[in-house]
Amino acid sequence: MRMFATIAKLLVKRVLTAIPILLIVSALLFCILRILPVDPAAMSLPPNATVQEVEAMRTEMGLNLPLYQQYGIWLNKLFHGDIGRSIHFRQDVTSLIGSTLPATIELAVIAMGVATVFGLAGGLFLFYVRGTRAEAVMDFLSILLLSLPEFLWSLFLLLIFGVFFEVLPFTGRLSPGFERPVVTGFLLLDSLITGNISTFLNALEHMILPCLALGIALSPSLMRVLRSSLLDAYQDDYIQQARLRGLSEKRILIRHGLKNAILPTLSLMGVQFGFLFGGTLLVEIIYSYPGMGNLMVDAIRNADLPIIQGAGLTYCIAVLVISIVVDSLYLILNPKLRVR
């Protein structure tokens, strides 16, 4: 019971500190994008608009007001769930984000799963071969892997499996001819709910390469942290104690070593998961994956300020939410923090 109380307390505290952070971030975003040398008013009018028309539009859009007032208006609208209309797509930014965010979340979550599997397996293996010659090789290999960021992996895997061997699809989410079921917006979930197994499998097939690219790129740092925290844990007396009690090495590793070493890995995963949301951007572009990253880059190329602001804020909220979730998980798993 006390555990729930501490977690609840932490949640409240974190959410309360997240609010000022979001306010400052939104103000920063607003200022950075207002110094841009583009005129949203002129952009939303046809090219043959007169100077008077542009001026009228500027007044209507509130662009002639002082910056802090513009920000106030924007913030007020934000609280009412209105973050403006895209100049380029002529659509509400909320609906644009709403239709792309689920795709990015699906990508990020599955990629994180892949990274966890590779990271844990690799870390355990690195630890298992400690002190042997294989360790030096593996260690070198992990630096090699660390030097390949996710977008190089994406291109690399695309070349191998998509272009040379042609075994996996590498554009979009579904092959032509597949109907897209819409229930929650999450394609994988929706195709399962509606019972379209073939659609589900096709969507899954499209996600293999991007998820592998992201997962492989993230895993080396997880491996290295897990290895070094396992090494740390094995310095402690309880490992010797367990050995003296005659427990098998496997049991010591899983029940005693891993249980203590997993925490630093978990907290790194939390940080990485937040960054992963940004890292998907490049992967989405490379695989023409219709997520937030593609939306963001389209918006940047068209200088579409409302989308850039909205998407930027959404990324920021995602990072904050993830870090709060990870902190709570940390508390659940780490008994040392539970006692006040």
Partner 1 sequence: MRPLPLWLKSGRVQTGLVIIFILAVCAIFAPYLAPNDPNEQNLLSILTPPIWADGGDAMFPLGTDSLGRCVLSRLIFGARVALTVAFSASIGAMIIGAFFAHVAGYFGGWVDWLIGRVVEIWLSFPPVILSLILMVGLGTGLRNVVLAIVLVDWTRFCRVLRSEVIVLRRRDYVSAAQLVGFSHWRTITREILPGTLPLLITLMSLEMGVAVIVEAILSFVGMSVGSETAAWGQMIADARQNIYDAPFNLIAPIFAIFFAVFGFNILGDGLRRTLDTRLTQTERT
Element (H, E) at 191: helix 187-193
Examine residue 254 and tell whether it contacts partner 1 (CB under 8 A).
no
Whether the Cβ atoms of residue 338 and residue 10 lie closer than 8 Å to each other: no
Site string for partner 1, 257-276 (x = CB under 8 A): -----------------xxx
Examine residue 277 and tell whether it contacts partner 1 (CB under 8 A).
yes
Which member of 281, 295, 324, 326 binds partner 1 (CB under 8 A)?
281
Examine residue 24 and tell whether it contacts partner 1 (CB under 8 A).
yes
The residue count for the chain: 340
For partner 1, the closer CB: 191 or 280? 280
Q: Least CB distance from residue 146 to partner 1, whole Å?
A: 6
Examine residue 103 and tell whether it contacts partner 1 (CB under 8 A).
no
Q: Which residues on neighbouring strands pair with residue 85, listed in sequence order?
A: 92
For partner 1, the closer CB: 200 or 218? 218
Residue 249 CB partners (closer than 8 Å, separation 6+): none
- Cα–Cα distances in angstroms (integers) from residue 196 to residues 37, 105, 163, 201, in the given order: 48, 21, 28, 9
Q: Least CB distance from residue 164 to partner 1, whole Å?
A: 8
For partner 1, the closer CB: 68 or 275? 275
Examine residue 109 and tell whether it contacts partner 1 (CB under 8 A).
no
Examine residue 129 and tell whether it contacts partner 1 (CB under 8 A).
no
Q: Compute the Cα dihedral for 316, 273, 175, 186 and give only its sign.
A: negative
For partner 1, the closer CB: 7 or 33? 33
In the three-class reduction of DSSP (H, G, I as helix; E, B as strand; rest coil), residue 85 is classed as strand
Which member of 303, 325, 331, 332 binds partner 1 (CB under 8 A)?
303
Examine residue 297 and tell whether it contacts partner 1 (CB under 8 A).
yes
Whether the Cβ atoms of residue 183 and residue 190 lie closer than 8 Å to each other: yes
Q: Least CB distance from residue 135 to partner 1, whole Å?
A: 11
Q: Distance (Å, rounded) from C-alpha 192 to C-alpha 213?
A: 25
Tell me how far apart the 2 most distant CA atoms of the chain are, in Å: 88
Which member of 7, 10, 11, 25 binds partner 1 (CB under 8 A)?
25
Residue 319 φ/ψ, nearest 5 degrees: -60, -45
For partner 1, the closer CB: 41 or 324? 324
Residue that the structure tokens 């400690």 belong to: 130
Examine residue 15 and tell whether it contacts partner 1 (CB under 8 A).
no
CA angle 306, 308, 311 (to 5 degrees): 100
Residue 334 CB partners (closer than 8 Å, separation 6+): 263
Examine residue 105 and tell whether it contacts partner 1 (CB under 8 A).
no
Site string for partner 1, 137-176 (x = CB under 8 A): ------xx-xxxx-xx--xx-xx---xx------------
Q: Least CB distance from residue 148 to partner 1, whole Å?
A: 6
Structure tokens at 164: 């040379």
Examine residue 183 and tell whether it contacts partner 1 (CB under 8 A).
no
Output the DSSP codes for 99-140: HHHHHHHHHHHHHHHHHHHHHHHHHHHHHHTTTSHHHHHHHH
What is the contact surface with partner 1 in residues (CB under 8 A)? 21-22, 24-25, 28-29, 32-33, 35-37, 143-144, 146-149, 151-152, 155-156, 158-159, 163-164, 274-279, 281-282, 285-286, 296-297, 300-301, 303, 308, 312, 315-316, 319-320, 323
